Amino acid sequence: MKLLLRKILKTPVVTESGISTVDADIETLGNALTKEVRKLFGRSLNIREVDPGSCNGCELEIGGLNSPYYDLERFGLHFVASPRHADCLLVTGPVTRNMADPLKRTYDATPDPKIVVAVGDCAKDCGIFAGGYGVVGPVSSVIPVDVVVSGCPPHPRAILAGILMALREFRGP
């Protein structure tokens, strides 16, 4: 007990440095996103995430965007619960037979102008689920897709870059 107390008393106060730990490329990407969103919508970008049959690997990475490290809220991007409030659909995974109609209805409920970003290899070409009896096909076989973010699962930076690419393509040259 005395050894432990002595060690505690000898150890100096350890604190984190005041230097930001966020990479500069995330800041650059986020600032570009903010600028594009403001030009297009004049407000924040509302995102609805839809999972029509994925393994949840992409959802974990999308969830990472809400972490303090990425903090996409500071760039003017918000996740919303209803497609009626969304400007952008982030769709993950292949489309299963049970989810084809709900995905189409979600797309139809999203007001124009809308952006669709397919996230992950499964959303692009069904990935490991290709040929499965319960799989209708990739997202593009059910709804129109603006940008595909490759990866299994894609890195959160790649997802942010995909959203930025969709915004730039949507806005035009």
Residue 95 lies in a domain: yes
Of 170, 153, 151, residue with least CA distance to 45: 170
Of 97 and 10, more confident: 97
Are 66 and 93 in contact by the 8 Å Cβ rule? The answer is no
**Distance (Å, whole) CA 123 – CA 103:** 13
Question: Side-chain half-sphere of 52: how many Cα atoms within 13 Å?
Answer: 34
Closest CA to 167 of 67, 22, 41: 41
In this structure, what CATH number is given to the domain that contains residue 94? 3.40.50.12280
Residue 84 lies in a domain: yes
Number of domains the chain is built from: 1
pLDDT in tens, 6-39: 888 888 876 666 555 567 788 888 888 889 888 8
Give the pLDDT confidence of 36-81 residue by residue, as tens digits.
Answer: 888 888 888 999 999 998 888 889 999 988 888 888 888 889 999 9
**pLDDT at res. 173:** 40
Answer yes or no: is 11 within a domain.
no
Please state the φ and ψ torsions of residue 21, each to the nearest 5 degrees: -95, 0
